[in-house]
Amino acid sequence: MSLEQTTATASAPAAGRSGLWAIVRGGTTHGRAVVYGVRLLLVVVWLGSWEISARTFMNPFLYSMPSRIWDKLVSWFTDGTSQGSIWINIWVTLEEAAGGFVLGVVAGVVLGVLLGRSVFFADVLAPFIKAANAIPRIVLAALFVIWFGLGMQSKIATAFVLVFFAVFFNAFQGAREVDKTLIDNARILGAGRWALMRTIVLPSATSWILASMHVAFGFALIGAVVGEFTGADRGMGLLIQQSQGNFDAAGVYAGMVVVTVVALLAEFLIGQLEKRLTAWRPQTTTTSAAGA
Amino acid sequence: MSDHAIALRDATKQFPHRAGGTFTAIRDVTLDVARGEFVTVVGPTGCGKSTTLSLVSGLEPATHGTVTVNGAPVRGIPDGVGYMFQSDAILPWKTVLDNVALGLRYRKVPGREAIARARDWISRVGLAGFEDRYPHQLSGGMRKRVAMAQTLITEPSVLLMDEPFGALDVQTRELMQDELLRLWSGSGAAVVFVTHDLTEAIALADRVVVMTAGPATVKDIVAVELPRPRKVEEIRLTEDFTQLYRRVWDSLREEVEITRARGADHVA
């Protein structure tokens, strides 16, 4: 019984995603202007048809409509929300997500790389890790609120458990797939165990780890928002939950829009980090890290 | 103590077979390599030539028999061993300079000294000006030069080379052979160089070791008494060279035929 099968399935979405990403980021033969034009057209058609439907036959109380969502966003950013300034709520959610993300990435990388290099411990722990991965971990959010209260810790913990496994399986696989020749060469050149980890294994696994980080930050935000759903005194999840409580569909959508923008910004920052860490690579493969 | 750089006594290496049982890669290999001697090893494909190198390097322990390097039995990786691998072993995420300095950094040589010595070696292998390039920005021949500098900077007294130029085109390969001879001469290092290429084997060697079909053992040793310094593209046109070639090929041909026959059995 080994971890490999779990790993394959765990890293598959990451691979698929970065493949899609490569397409989204361009590198196609069409003119850029045409691509942007068609994208804009899609957005206009989508929002326009929604707006018209809501004004004619759909119930805007249940389904809301773009103009109301826009008004809601404007009022949040100018007058503030029922939970105080929108910026504070964004900041709280971001802090929770970032906290869980950093802890999860560190723990996932350390454990993944260590287990990836130790056949014995990987063998011993395989069934436990598989079981832990099979648990619907999002439910732990409820438990964390009981343990850590309504404050930030419970959300950081939820974000952490989601991030950890995403990163762990990729780090594990990355550490396992290190080219044996590189290891032999480093050993001959005089590398000790620690130097081998630091200069060969970790850099080799970096492309796998970075690929998982794109998905992982999304998970961290989900963890933070769901944690806030479950019980919180501030944050975007609380705003969304309160909107739901007031039958304010526009508020739910507005919350989604804000969280989406935050996620896209984070994605951009991770992309920049990836570019910096993989500067040594030929340009054409920077977007397909997981496939490498 | 013996003054051999490398001494193999009845060295045998077996690997566990996937279907149970064992697979014998080399059997009863006895071979001495003197200090400063250049030995090339030829043999049929897959006969276990590389396994011999991994025993000497300490990457794999021998199943039976003894292996000594510089008079000491091999346990773990011996001091003073350098190894150039068949495939690229330089780190793709490090620049040429950092790759060449790697062995010194592992050996705790202070940063500034390591960099200075790495620069020196980079110019010795003819790559001055390429210090800040990454491996993917270099040609195959240039990457081999980096690997050569990376190995030689540790000043090995025993240099193991596993078909290091196998993947290069013919012109580049001859150039690299000359470079290797130039860098080796005066280094005093004992070299064991595994190759498929008989021309390469004879042009470089003091002695050519012919291995049998797997499990490999030493079949024949041919002394190459051609004058040094040698120029590879000139030496291979001489009469002496042709005779040596015929001599080595006669010995090797049988083994190659055995290996081929086995391959045919597998197909049938």
Q: What is the pLDDT of residues A250-262, one digit of tens each?
A: 999 999 999 999 9
CATH of the domain at A96: 1.10.3720.10
> Which tokens is A198 given?
């630091």
| Residue A226 belongs to some domain of the structure | yes
Q: Is A195 on the interface with B (CB under 8 A)?
A: yes
Q: Is B43 on the interface with A (CB under 8 A)?
A: no
**Amino acid in the structure at residue A155:** K
pLDDT of residue A277: 85
Q: Is A283 on the interface with B (CB under 8 A)?
A: no
B11-48 exposure pattern, b = at least 16 Cβ within 10 A, e = fewer: bbbbeeeeeeeeebbbbbbebbbbebbbbbbbbbeebb
Pick from A181, A190, A192: CB nearest B103: A190
Q: What is the pLDDT of residues B90-126, one digit of tens each?
A: 999 999 999 999 999 999 999 999 999 999 999 999 9
Query: Nearest CA of chain A to the CA of B149: how many Å?
Result: 12
- Which residue is closest to B132 within chain A, CA to CA? A280
Q: How confident is the model at residue B233 (pLDDT cuts 50, 70, 90)?
A: confident
* Integer Cα distance of B196 and B50 in angstroms: 11
Average pLDDT over residues A192-203: 92
Tally of structural domains, chain A: 1
What ipTM was predicted for this assembly?
A: 0.90
| Residue A292 belongs to some domain of the structure | no
Element (H, E) at B22: strand B22-34
| Pairing label, strands B4-16, B190-194 | unpaired
* Integer Cα distance of B202 and B73 in angstroms: 30
Q: How confident is the model at residue A21 (pLDDT cuts 50, 70, 90)?
A: low
Neighbours of A282 (CB within 10 A): 11
pLDDT of residue B1: 46
**Which residue, among B230, B227, B229, has the nearest Cα to B200 in the 3D structure?**
B230
Pick from B89, B92, B107: CB nearest A185: B89
Q: Is B264 on the interface with A (CB under 8 A)?
A: no
pLDDT tops 70 at residue A290:
no
Mean of the per-residue pLDDT values for chain B?
A: 91
* Integer Cα distance of B241 and A238 in angstroms: 85
| Residue A9 belongs to some domain of the structure | yes
A170-192 exposure pattern, b = at least 16 Cβ within 10 A, e = fewer: bbbbbbbebeebbbbbbbbbbbe
pLDDT tops 90 at residue B129:
yes
| Angle at which helices A202-230 and A4-24 cross, to 10° | 90
Average pLDDT over residues B215-229: 91
Q: How confident is the model at residue B88 (pLDDT cuts 50, 70, 90)?
A: confident
Q: Which residues contact A261 (CB under 8 A, 6 or more apart)?
A: none
Mean of the per-residue pLDDT values for chain A?
A: 85
Express as a percent the part of chain B with pLDDT over 70.
98
CB A178 within 8 A of CB A196: no
Question: What DSSP assignment string belongs to A164-195?
Answer: HHHHHHHHHHHHHT--HHHHHHHHHTT--HHH
pLDDT of residue A11: 41
Q: Is A187 on the interface with B (CB under 8 A)?
A: yes
Average pLDDT over residues A208-237: 91
> What are the φ and ψ backbone dihedral angles of A131, each rounded to 5 degrees?
-65, -45
Q: How confident is the model at residue A32 (pLDDT cuts 50, 70, 90)?
A: confident
> Cβ–Cβ of B81/A188 closer than 8 Å?
yes
Q: Where are the domains of chain B?
A: 81-155
> What is each CA distance from A122 to A94, A105, A183, B221, B266, in whole angstroms?
34, 19, 19, 47, 37
* Integer Cα distance of B52 and B33 in angstroms: 13
Query: Nearest CA of chain A to the CA of B106: how many Å?
Result: 5
CB B238 within 8 A of CB B219: no
Domain that holds residue A119: 4-285
Q: Which residues contact B244 (CB under 8 A, 6 or more apart)?
A: B202, B208, B222, B224, B226
Q: What is the pLDDT of residues B189-204, one digit of tens each?
A: 999 999 989 999 999 9
pLDDT tops 70 at residue A284:
no
Q: Is A282 on the interface with B (CB under 8 A)?
A: yes
pTM: 0.80
* B-chain residues near A199 (CB < 8 A): 91, 102
* Integer Cα distance of B229 and B240 in angstroms: 16
> Cβ–Cβ of A189/B57 closer than 8 Å?
no
Element (H, E) at A41: helix A32-56
| Residue A290 belongs to some domain of the structure | no
> What is each CA distance from B54 to B42, B159, B165, in whole angstroms?
16, 12, 18
> B219: helix, coil or strand?
strand
Average pLDDT over residues A137-157: 91
Q: Is A75 on the interface with B (CB under 8 A)?
A: no
| Residue A291 belongs to some domain of the structure | no
Neighbours of B223 (CB within 10 A): 10
Pick from B82, B93, B150: CB nearest A280: B93
Q: Which residues contact B217 (CB under 8 A, 6 or more apart)?
A: B26, B27, B28, B29, B211
Helix and strand counts by DSSP (H, E) for chain B: 8, 10
Element (H, E) at B209: strand B207-211
